[in-house]
Chain A
Amino acid sequence: PPPNSRSDWIGPPDKHSNLRPVIFYVPPEESPLERRLREARQEAQACNQRFWAQQNRAFRQEKEEFIYSRLKAKGLEIRDDTGKKATLNAEEMADFYKDFLSKNFRKHMQYNRDWYKRNFTITFLMGQVALVRALRWLRWKKKNV
């Protein structure tokens, strides 16, 4: 994002977490309320990034391991004669999906609760900031009229 921009910028999805990173603009005369909002958003972003990057990485890794072990059990190699990677069909993968979901259930519950709380806090702070800014703008208009 250009250095003289006065707004936040959002980027392309991250490779690991699929979330889009946001670069927050810090205005020179940032009020404490606005700072709290920005910090809450940064924290939520970092937390989300951590969680999803780790989840996706674990998923990919465990999927590879599962495919490898199943292929070995069937007596096949990871790569077949043409050099392409051998894959299992959806039915065989179903066991893995079920397993992965149940293993990570508690982690997801915890993340859910966390995410909902953060989401509400951030939105509420946004509301407060918007209200304060609106009042300030009204006061400025009254002064200049």
Chain B
Amino acid sequence: MSAARRCRPPRAMAGLFVWHLKNTGIRQVPCQFVHLCRAANDRLITFQYFNFLKRMYVTQYNKDLSQRAKPKSDSVASPFRELQQLDQEKKVIHKISPISPVHQPLSETSSRNELREMASAAETEDSVALVRAESKDDRQWKEMKLRLDDLPGILARLSKIKLTALVVSTTSAGFAMAPVPFDLTCFLLASLGTGLASCAANSINQFFEVPFDSNMNRTKNRPLVRGQISPLLAVCFAASCGVPGIALLTLGVNPLTGALGAFNIFLYTCCYTPMKRMSIANTWVGAVVGAIPPVMGWTAATGSLDAGALLLGGILYSWQFPHFNALSWGLREDYSRGGYCMMSVTHPGLCRRVALRHCLALIGLSTAAPVLDVTTWTFPVISLPLNLYISYLAFRFYRDADRSSSRKLFFCSLWHLPMLLLVMFTCKKSFLEKEGKSDLLGGNHGRAVEIGLP
């Protein structure tokens, strides 16, 4: 039975990897997942979806979106694509077929290399085919008429739906970590409200950045840049998502969450987006934008801003820096030409120092988690190797300051966050335990009484 259990997650993981690989071509570390499987088998299966979305989130970042935004993660997220921007769905289909034979030997390191090779081979053929298709399409004149059947796809790209999904998953992580009994309606309302707010913020961001987006490789296929939708429609869409989203949060969840959501939209669209071109401080603002959704999830559950909420926010805030700084290291030319003020261009030393500093801060924050009663003491112990590894890569980045170390750090950050949050969840302190029960949660036994999703 346990063997069967162990088989299922790896296959599902492979599905995730494939999807993920399509997007970034990164090297997966299947081994880690197998370990995690053994650690928390049943819970892991439940969190497939959760993990998957997390990945999309990290992958999608671009500061330019980067952002981070949650909604806003744009800032971090946006710049993220250092490879060609291929955000077409067909890619997934292409990718899955060549990679499926590699499913089975996931737990061996050799499979890692195979996966990598196949992934890169598949990716290059796909990217060549897609680029050819795209450029042929590009060279034609198109009528600027809105077609209703294209509209859902256009709106999805306008609202950066994948990034929004990741933002919503960080919010649900915040909700899940809150020490209160799980309330499904509240959870759904909070997720929906956050998702709508994120769509609105992303749309406004794209509305502001049309000429800049057309000059950067990563973003030149956005709907407004290609004229598939008029600016007026983009603004109306943003309003029709933002207003109901915030109203839903304020009235359906609680006013605090609504206020945080509105503040985050404001921070992302009116502070972060213009600041990208004015000063390097935009990265810090973007990190705050990214840190707010889990705080929102927590306040949605508990109704108040506790230390635990701030801790989760702090973890996400610190994570943004290695992620974004490593990403932006490879985009310096585009940023310079486009007039974006980023640390990697103007203050490269600071860029690397900050990334290292915040990786070390993650270690500190993970240790603070049990002190604040958010998790048990197993969390700092289990997360220490993760945090040390990313700190090591950040140190290499600091010392070497070259493309390969920045790529390594960036790709590490992509799986580091989902893993960290997952481990955090499995080490969550049961609120029953806090009432004096001596049951050890630890996260290994599927006790129904434990917090948790249904």
Contacts and interface: CB of A to CB of B under 8 A. Distances in A.
Contacts of B348: 94, 98
Contacts of B345: 94, 97-98, 101
A59 B235 CA distance: 33
A54 interface: no
Contacts of A48: 211
Please provide the 8 A-B residue pairs with the shortest distance between their CB atoms, ordered closest to farther.
A10-B227, A97-B336, A108-B339, A126-B232, A8-B144, A11-B141, A18-B215, A12-B139
A52 interface: yes
Interface in A68-97: 90-91, 93-94, 96-97
Interface string B217-237: 000100001110011100100
Interface in A1-38: 1, 5, 7-13, 17-20, 22-23
Given A10-B144, A91-B401, A127-B232, A19 B214 contact: yes
A122 interface: yes
Contacts, number: 107
Interface residues of A, number: 44
A115 B211 contact: yes
18 contacts: A5-B143, A13-B214, A18-B214, A18-B215, A20-B226, A48-B211, A55-B337, A59-B336, A93-B332, A94-B332, A97-B335, A98-B336, A101-B341, A102-B346, A123-B207, A123-B235, A126-B230, A126-B231
Nearest to A51: B211
A55 B211 CA distance: 12
Contacts of B230: 126
Interface in B135-184: 138-145
B431 interface: no
B84 to A, nearest CB: 15
A90 B225 contact: no
Contacts of B339: 55, 101, 104-105, 108, 111
A7 B231 contact: no
A91 B337 contact: no
Contacts of A52: 211, 215
Interface residues of B, number: 39
A59 B337 contact: yes
A100 B231 contact: no
A9 B143 CA distance: 4
Contacts of B403: 90
Interface of A: 1, 5, 7-13, 17-20, 22-23, 48, 52, 55-56, 59, 90-91, 93-94, 96-98, 100-102, 104-105, 108-109, 111-112, 115-116, 119, 122-123, 126-127, 130
Interface of chain A: mostly helix, strand, loop or mixed:
helix
Nearest to A21: B141
A11 B336 CA distance: 26
A127 B239 CA distance: 13
Kindly name the residue among A20, A104, A116 whose own CB sees the greatest number of chain B CB atoms within 10 A.
Answer: A20
Interface of B: 138-145, 207-208, 210-211, 214-215, 220, 225-227, 230-232, 235, 274, 277-278, 330, 332-333, 335-337, 339, 341, 345-346, 348, 401-403
A120 B195 CA distance: 26
B143 A123 contact: no
Nearest to B402: A91
B138 A12 contact: yes
A12 B337 contact: no
A119 B231 contact: yes
B102 to A, nearest CB: 33
Contacts of A55: 337, 339
Contacts of A116: 208, 274
Contacts of A101: 335-336, 339, 341, 345-346
A81 to B, nearest CB: 25
A9 B145 CA distance: 8
Nearest to B279: A105
B450 to A, nearest CB: 49
A123 B232 contact: yes
Given A94-B348, A101-B346, A9 B402 contact: no
A101 B337 CA distance: 7
A66 B226 CA distance: 33
B144 A9 contact: yes
B208 A119 contact: yes
A58 to B, nearest CB: 9
A12 B230 CA distance: 17
Nearest to B211: A48
Contacts of B346: 98, 101-102
Contacts of B337: 55-56, 59, 100
Given A20-B227, A112-B277, A12 B336 contact: no
B332 A90 contact: yes
Nearest to A47: B211
Given A10-B144, A59-B336, A98-B346, 7 more contacts: A9-B142, A90-B330, A90-B332, A97-B336, A101-B336, A116-B274, A130-B232
B409 to A, nearest CB: 15
B143 A7 contact: yes
A48 B410 CA distance: 34
Contact of A10 (B139, B226, B231, B277): B226
